[in-house]
Structure 1
């Protein structure tokens, strides 16, 4: 019996290894002979079809192979659209898969789409784990999905106290960054007296930094669901973020510079604002990449913690960049 999983553990820790894969080029007769020779694991529901490189290309329900003609190719009778969990998925992700698709098992695949294991619905039902094997087939599987759906709903609709416990630590991150930002702004009080134009555009620059950091963070989190972060992967995306953020920064700064200069005719201040936007966009964009990657690497859940931490660091770096550049130039 496997230990009861917690929601944010990796699903790959709970997969079954007694699965059978069939090459798509086999005939039904050849596949059945292979199954008889190698045997199957307990409670087999689906056979998974792979290509010559062992990559997952389809799924074959047991009923289809039993009623097919012996000379038919597996590729002809398999279901090509197969839902698979990436090995980086969490137990909670698997719960959502079962509740959404209502299949009894899912393959778990690595970054090359090779099957590393099978997770079946029995993992999530305490009642099933306590049943004897000869009683499992009589279990009402509709009630399993109702149970899973209820558990997901229970997580999403936590009590106020439970929700408070989950959310307050990350709000403290925002409070802390806000206090630091206030102190930093105070330290640049003399710089603010040099140009009121800096004050007028401060909120805009801060908002741009937060926006691009969240955009980059969202992309990074989605990518990390199916990709194992390596040094080459990080360097490639680091350079990509710099290039993208630079283009975005130049575009936004051009518009802001034009408006600021036409409005107040302060060329130097307008230049400071424009350059700050470019630097802030680049730094905040990199924050959006780095924070989720570090959290993922340290086995923490980036979906929960990345947002507050990324925003906090983006705000602090924006203030230092904005007022720091202004104090040097003005």
Structure 2
């Protein structure tokens, strides 16, 4: 029983309703110890949906229901899609001997990732329970940096000698049902070095007696085991391929990175950058104490705190003006807030572009000019509105001129700063995601207040 989720509102409502009924049914069967009926209904649910359902079940029952999955291969598929918190609970409540039987059905890269995250004692015990082939694959993957191509690749790839014919290659493929994915046929020489690639389409259209080396593409897009995972993701995205082969320093084929792994990398990278910009981490709520969380967030907030102190000092220099024209203080929140919002928008786009490779530091001048135009357009629009508001509500042309000009200048400056600062950090080899948030916020606050009172001084004095 596969649940087909649709983005249309009615279909989504139906999906959620069906999921809710399944959660209730599964929970009742488990509580009644109806093992046969429970196993039967679990076997008819798609693994991705079942992993989601397990998250919605009472935490006390989740492990027992997971262990009621009869098919070990299906259980492994469900396990690979569960949240880290639920995986940890299942691991803690399931005998390792039983779990090892399930985990050996995981793809080698997923199994290596899971074992690599375990504490040393559990890792050793679980490794001892694996069969020789699985153990060898895991050990070979664990030696690579987790954020490299070697760390995210799978060793479950398909390759053949280039001297074989098309007919022999097709027969080989038919006999390899256990291979995770066959997107492309990688060809090697006598030393197992990667020499070419043939698509399945080429293979099916070629004459059966044709040698593989006669139809293969010798210009193979490949990466080495130490290539950064972000670079791998960018290559797969740029060239729209379903998998990319991984070679060692001798050009020997050792694995491949599939598109599903690339999607995971891009999702993790995006999430990590967004959280870094906010000065926090994804797992802190569940894994860290309150003191530890406060310690993680403190440096980022301290930078903003310093910016606030700076803005306060700037305002202090204009006490006389504020005393004479008290209404100026009422507009400080909207002027600083609008500039800050523009800064966040521009900084997010810049940091994300740098992270994915869509933006390069060589593009700095062009991007700054574009953001200058964007800031001017937004500032002019809101400046006119705020100027009219200041004039009509407070019956003061000078106030309208002051707030209108200020919001124009501040929004323009914020847009430029928010693009320029990430570029500077990238050039200095500082992670833009970490540094941009506090620096952009601080700069916009201080500069915004300073601009406001300087413009007010000019307008009211002259």
Number of equivalent positions: 247
Length-normalised TM-score, structure 2: 0.45
Distance change (3 Å), C-alpha of 1:5 and 1:202: same
Deviation at 1:261? 0.5
Deviation at 1:222? 1.8
Deviations 1:177-228 (A, max 9, x none): 1111111111111121232231111110010110000011011112212235
Which residue pairs with 1:322 in the alignment?
Answer: 452
Q: Which of 230, 246, 253 lines up with 2:383 in the alignment?
A: 253
- Asked if 1:157 is matched to 2:283, the reply is yes
3-state SS of paired residue (2:187)? helix
Deviations 1:32-86 (A, max 9, x none): 99935597558x9x95x8xxxxxxxxxx5xxx479734259xxxxxxxxxxx99x
Q: Which of 201, 209, 227 lines up with 2:358 in the alignment?
A: 227
Which residue pairs with 1:35 in the alignment?
Answer: 187
Alignment of structure 1 residues 285-300 onto 2, 5 Å: 285-300=415-430
Q: Which of 218, 222, 228 lines up with 2:348 in the alignment?
A: 218
Distance change (3 Å), C-alpha of 1:243 and 1:40: farther
Deviations 1:256-283 (A, max 9, x none): 1111101111101210110011000111
Length-normalised TM-score, structure 1: 0.60
- Asked if 1:262 is matched to 2:398, the reply is no
3-state SS of paired residue (1:35)? strand
Higher relative contact order (CA 8 A, sep 6+): 1
Q: Aligned partners of 1:166 and 1:118: how far apart in 2?
A: 37
Mark the structure with the bigger radius of gyration. 2
Deviations 1:116-167 (A, max 9, x none): x9686xxxxxxxxxxxxxxx99xxxxxxxx9xx99x99x6213135433432
Q: Aligned partners of 1:90 and 1:321: how far apart in 2?
A: 43
Task: Tell whether the 8 Å contact from 2:236 to 2:244 is kept in structure 1 after alignment.
Answer: no
Deviation at 1:303? 2.0
Q: Aligned partners of 2:451 and 2:233: how far apart in 1?
A: 47
Q: Aligned partners of 2:378 and 2:336: how far apart in 1?
A: 15
Distance change (3 Å), C-alpha of 1:260 and 1:181: same
Which residue pairs with 2:300 in the alignment?
Answer: 170
Task: Tell whether the 8 Å contact from 2:383 to 2:408 is kept in structure 1 after alignment.
Answer: yes
Task: Tell whether the 8 Å contact from 1:111 to 1:228 is kept in structure 2 after alignment.
Answer: no
Which residue pairs with 1:208 in the alignment?
Answer: 338
Unaligned runs of 5+ in 2: 1-139, 158-165, 170-183, 209-221, 247-253, 256-263, 273-280
Q: Aligned partners of 1:39 and 1:215: how far apart in 2?
A: 52
Which residue pairs with 1:312 in the alignment?
Answer: 442
Task: Tell whether the 8 Å contact from 2:361 to 2:423 is kept in structure 1 after alignment.
Answer: no
Q: Aligned partners of 1:4 and 1:33: how far apart in 2?
A: 25
Task: Tell whether the 8 Å contact from 1:108 to 1:119 is kept in structure 2 after alignment.
Answer: no
Distance change (3 Å), C-alpha of 1:191 and 1:37: same
Alignment of structure 1 residues 74-89 onto 2, 5 Å: none
Unaligned runs of 5+ in 1: 20-27, 50-59, 73-83, 95-105, 121-135, 138-145
